[in-house]
Amino acid sequence: MSTQQAEPESQEAPKDPEMQGAESPAAEKQKGGGMVDQTSTDASELEGETVHIKVFRYDPEVEAKQEPRFDDFHVPFEKGMTVLDAVMYARDEYDSSLTFRHSCRQAVCGSDAFFVNGKQRLGCKTQIADLEQPVRIEPLPHQEVVKDLVVDMDHFYDQMHTVEPYFQQEDLPDGELEEQRQSRENREKVKMSTRCIWCGACMSSCNIAAGDNEYLGPAAINKAYRFAMDEREDEEIKEHRLRILEQEHGVWRCQTQFSCTEVCPKDIPLTEHIQELKREAVKKNLKFW
Amino acid sequence: MYEHDVIVVGAGGAGLRAAIAAHEAGADVAMVSKLHPVRSHTGAAEGGINAALREGDDWELHAYDTMKGSDYLADAPAVETLTQNSPEETINLEHWGMPFSREDDGRVSQRPFGGLSFPRTTYAGAETGHHLLHVMYEQVVKRGIQVYDEWYVMDLVTTDEPDPNDRECHGVVGYDVQSGKIEGFKAHDGVILATGGPGQAFDHTTNAVSCTGDGHAMAYRAGAPLEDMEFIQFHPTSLPSTGVLISEGVRGEGGILYNNEGERFMFEHGYANNDGELASRDVVARAELTEVNEGRGVNDEYVHLDMRHLGEERIMDRLENILHLAEDFEGVDGLIEPMPVKPGQHYAMGGIEVDEHGQTCVDGLYAAGECACVSVHGGNRLGGNALPELIVFGKRAGRHAAGDDLGEPEIKTGYGDDVEDETDTELPVAPGKAGLDTTGSVAADGGVTAEADGILERSVEAAREHVDSLIEKEDGVQHAEIRAKLQRAMTDYVNVFRTGDGIRKALKIIRECRQEYQNVYVDDPSRTFNTDLQQTIETRNLIDVAETIALGALVRNEFRGAHWRQENQTRDDENWLKHTLISWDDGEPSIFYRPVILDGENKTYEPKERSY
């Protein structure tokens, strides 16, 4: 087993990925969403130190990576360093084949949701100093792994699209510059739901979604909530939306385990939104499938 | 091979708006994007959308502010098009369900922003871009527009007549990131580049890592000139550690800047005696760095932005997102302590030269959004003017590409009779192709009437060979090393304060990067999701774009907008009321100039001294 050290000389020449140590050769790809939060380390204790990260590796095409494994990297710590910073450093300095999605680095693009120390988190928003070492970084559970930390998001996108995720109000006010009025209270009501960045953390943490591929899932239901509760859409379309949601694999599948709410990086009260839609469906006397 | 009428490259604000408009005009549209649309960098915009919506405001005032903010380097027809169309386009977003912040009467809220004479910035909390992006993606889903997501466009497919004005664009070559497959995309009517900014040319930037100037570089190599590239906006309030953006909305709502002596320096040191923190961005960024350079910075690096006095209620209502950013990325609670901020690369005022319809000089090639320069921002973009640009010019490009008649454009493009030639500025090194193969520039093989399918096939073949050679090469230099060197040079020498000597140093380093790039290789042998390969191609684009930024900065020996030169600290209207254009002339950049258009619909915007 070889581990990468952050000695200045080792930063010069990127090392062969095949030389990376494999600490846990039989890494399990589909782990459930256990919610073990970690105790934090004081950042000042880490000054001048390296942090030890264990990163999941898998590539269906490269022989040495076909068997999933973990690679160890020791990355020099800097104050404010995030999980994303650490894996970027490992990639740029030690192994350029290390693969993950990332873009904005500020928690709005939703690309870098990983399974970090047993919890779904955005890499860019998670401080390394808050985590217990070694930091285990894995792809989102319950999604097919494409390579390393990259998962296939197609199913997630399909579920988002199932709920007709677009505003549907054809009856607009007269005059090009006339707005639809929306009360501050109503905007406040839908505000949290509009913050979703489609990162997929909630879906990955949901035990129900893991067992029922057709379950709409927390993100899609939240997207529907965003429209169903918006007073600018009229009653008819609201009813249509509730009919989509109350179907067999809709809101009633939710068992209020709160795992989605717990992992949401934008603090959206997903479970509460799902419950509210259940109540709406009951009030509208929609059939209980 | 895939075929569509209109192909939109990039799926952020401008791309989505262009696709919707082209679709509404009856075209079969496809979007090709290296990211899934909701991952686009438009989502990181915070502040808002300038639109003259209210009594007491009108498009002419907005146009005046924009011309002044630009330091009289914007073209009036473009600015007036922007300000006339922005109200309708902004309300259109509301009609599509955008969750704007609201007033008590239920109408959309507006707030003050830097350089504006009226509080006309329409916003949705401090996350306007996120909502704009999602609302427009929703409309793309609603219309069933085809999206090829995680397809990286490597090249434009363009004929190779000697004069770029005679060239024609037939499509693009795309690379499927997930599978490694390389395919041609044929566009019957037009290709619209909407690829965003080139912020990754710098190492302290608010831009996403995906902002690598791909569209700039591809258009440039296909013959469309890049315009005013020296004008790079450094946003006054980015977080020191990461470059994460703190919206101008904080200052718009009343946030105050302090130096390490607790002085409100914008006033106390006379940088902007009227507008203070709400002077335009170039003014505030220079003021902050001057404070730091004169020893009044906090930790010799940054200044403080304080919003505590606004009160929790107002902050939570209008700036909540800022609290989260300061907490997550700097460990600072904005409710109880001031936030550290410093200037960070934020926006490129320049870009691919286009007219008001989004057309470049290459037939069938369009550009919109930050990658384009129409030009509405001139030497300095006002906060809140980027988002209306996306929707107004994205829509126009989409409509025109789909065949709608938008009339005769007033802005000219390409090399022609109205341009002023070459510069006599001495360059420190011969720029251009030296040391770099030109794989993937103009792809046709000399046939003036080369037939589209043939050119497309040859381009795809060339791209496949290029990728094979990068992957099969056993050793050499890695892109990350070259990219880091390039970013460092740009930040060291082509930053807020610029000197001729510094820019020359940057050009030498860029040239070294070019030479090193000749030996670049991709370590990852896999065809599956090979980000190493993608970033290697992006790095080449960054080299081309960085060179045009530095070249433009070197030749423009005056001080205008965001472009400050130590040797020439005054604006020189006599010689420099003109745009810098750099075109890729057989692999060597050549420079020419086009006069700025100050004549608007009803008036001429006479250059005046800018004071705030």
Residues B310-346: tens digit of each pLDDT = 999 999 999 999 999 999 888 899 999 999 999 999 9
**B60 and B124 belong to one structural domain:** yes
Residue-wise pLDDT tens digits, A62-112: 999 999 999 999 999 988 899 999 999 999 999 999 999 999 999 999 999
| pLDDT attached to residue B426 | 77
Residue of A nearest to B107 (CA): A181
Catalytic residue among B167, B281, B286, B498: B281
Q: Does B58 touch chain A (CB under 8 A)?
A: no
pLDDT at A31 over 80: no
Q: Does B381 touch chain A (CB under 8 A)?
A: no
β-pairing, B121-122 vs B49-50, is antiparallel
Name every residue whose Cβ is closer than 8 Å to that of residue B186 and which is 6 or more positions away in sequence: B1, B2, B3, B4, B157, B170, B171, B452, B453, B456
pLDDT band at B440 (very low <50, low <70, confident <90, very high): very low
User: What is the predicted ipTM?
Assistant: 0.94
Is the separation of the CB atoms in B549 and B562 below 8 Å?
A: no
Is the separation of the CB atoms in A200 and A249 below 8 Å?
A: no
pLDDT at B425 over 80: no
More confident position, A241 or B434: A241
**B108 and B162 belong to one structural domain:** yes
**B200 and B295 belong to one structural domain:** no
Residue of A nearest to B144 (CA): A161
- As for how many domains chain B has, the answer is 2
In angstroms, the separation between the Cα of residue A277 and the nearest Cα of chain B is 20
Structure tokens at B564: 């400050």
| pLDDT attached to residue A44 | 67
Whether the upstream peptide bond of residue A96 has omega within 30° of 0, thus cis, is no
Helix orientation angle between B59-69 and B76-95, rounded to the nearest 10 degrees: 120
| Phi, psi for A65 (deg, rounded to 5) | -110, 5
**B336 and B429 belong to one structural domain:** no
Angstrom CA distances, B129 to A106, B391, B395, stand at 13, 12, 17
Mean pLDDT across the stretch B121-130?
96
| Phi, psi for B185 (deg, rounded to 5) | -120, 110
Name every residue whose Cβ is closer than 8 Å to that of residue A204 and which is 6 or more positions away in sequence: A33, A113, A115, A120, A140, A141, A142, A143, A263
| pLDDT attached to residue A5 | 42
pLDDT band at A15 (very low <50, low <70, confident <90, very high): very low
Mean pLDDT across the stretch B474-478?
94
What's the CA gap between B181 and B533, in Å, rounded?
A: 13
Quickly list H helices, B355-437: 386-401
Contact A166 B134 (CB under 8 A): no
CA proximity to B123, closest of A85, A28, A187, A47: A187
pLDDT band at B447 (very low <50, low <70, confident <90, very high): very low
Contact A167 B242 (CB under 8 A): no
What's the CA gap between B63 and B84, in Å, rounded?
A: 9
Q: Report the side by side order of strands in the sheet with B339-348.
A: B232-238, B339-348, B303-306, B256-258
In angstroms, the separation between the Cα of residue B102 and the nearest Cα of chain A is 6
In a domain, B140, yes or no: yes
**B92 and B161 belong to one structural domain:** yes
| pLDDT attached to residue B28 | 98
Final residue in a domain of this structure, among B325, B345, B365: B345
Q: Does A198 touch chain B (CB under 8 A)?
A: yes
What's the CA gap between B612 and B610, in Å, rounded?
A: 7
CB burial of residue A45 (10 Å; 0-12, 13-18, 19+): exposed
In a domain, B503, yes or no: yes
pLDDT band at A50 (very low <50, low <70, confident <90, very high): very high
Is the separation of the CB atoms in B326 and B334 below 8 Å?
A: yes
**B444 and B471 belong to one structural domain:** yes
Q: What residue type is B201 in one-letter code?
A: A
pLDDT band at B436 (very low <50, low <70, confident <90, very high): low
What pTM, to 2 d.p., does this model score?
A: 0.93
Residue-wise pLDDT tens digits, B199-234: 999 999 999 999 999 999 999 999 999 999 999 999
CATH C-level class of A49-151: alpha beta
Question: End-to-end CA distance of chain A, in Å?
Answer: 55
Q: What residue type is B331 in one-letter code?
A: G
Question: Which among A109, A181, A182 has the least Cβ separation from residue B208?
Answer: A109
In a domain, B438, yes or no: yes
pLDDT at B238 over 50: yes
| pLDDT attached to residue A8 | 33
Residue-wise pLDDT tens digits, B335-386: 999 999 999 999 999 999 999 999 999 999 999 999 999 999 999 999 999 9
Q: Looking at the DSSP assignment, which residues form a beta bridge with residue B87?
A: none
In a domain, B416, yes or no: no
**B201 and B239 belong to one structural domain:** no
Residue-wise pLDDT tens digits, A190-238: 999 999 999 999 999 999 999 999 999 999 999 999 999 999 999 999 9
pLDDT band at B611 (very low <50, low <70, confident <90, very high): confident
Which stretch of DSSP H or E encloses residue A262? helix A259-263
**B252 and B217 belong to one structural domain:** no
* Among the ranges given (A138-142, B203-207, B428-432, B506-510), the one the predictor scored with the smallest mean pLDDT: B428-432
State chain A's mean pLDDT as an integer: 86
- Say whether B265 sits in a helix, a strand or coil: helix
Residue-wise pLDDT tens digits, A235-250: 999 999 999 999 889 9
Residues of chain A numbered 76-135 and touching chain B (CB < 8 Å): 79-80, 82, 91-93, 95-97, 99-111, 125, 127
DSSP string, B178-196: TT--EEEEEEEEEEEE---
Final residue in a domain of this structure, among B297, B330, B345: B345
**B124 and B271 belong to one structural domain:** no
Which stretch of DSSP H or E encloses residue A73? strand A69-76
Mean pLDDT across the stretch B482-497?
97
Q: Which residue has the tokens 């200052």?
A: B251
pLDDT at A183 over 70: yes
| pLDDT attached to residue A27 | 39
Kindly state the percentage of chain A with pLDDT values over 70. Answer: 83
CA proximity to A120, closest of A15, A199, A225, A64: A199
Is the separation of the CB atoms in A278 and A251 below 8 Å?
A: yes
Question: Which among B44, B130, B525 has the least Cβ separation from residue A62?
Answer: B525
In a domain, B601, yes or no: yes
**B336 and B399 belong to one structural domain:** no
* Among the ranges given (B238-252, B255-269, B332-346, B593-607), the one the predictor scored with the smallest mean pLDDT: B238-252
pLDDT at B184 over 50: yes
Question: Which among B87, B101, B105 has the least Cβ separation from residue A177?
Answer: B87
Angstrom CA distances, B74 to A126, B373, B552, B599, stand at 42, 10, 16, 11
Q: Catalytic residue at B281?
A: yes
> Domain residue spans in chain A?
49-151, 153-167+184-287
**B14 and B65 belong to one structural domain:** yes
- B264 is in which domain, residue-wise? 233-345
What's the CA gap between B113 and B253, in Å, rounded?
A: 8
Q: Does B40 touch chain A (CB under 8 A)?
A: yes
pLDDT at B123 over 50: yes
* Among the ranges given (A28-37, B29-38, B280-289, B491-500), the one the predictor scored with the smallest mean pLDDT: A28-37
Mean pLDDT across the stretch B74-84?
98
Structure tokens at A126: 């998670």
Contact B91 A99 (CB under 8 A): no
Contact B41 A103 (CB under 8 A): yes
**B304 and B353 belong to one structural domain:** no
Q: Does B476 touch chain A (CB under 8 A)?
A: no
| CATH topology assigned to domain A153-167+184-287 | Fumarate Reductase Iron-sulfur Protein; Chain B, domain 2 (1.10.1060)
| pLDDT attached to residue A21 | 33
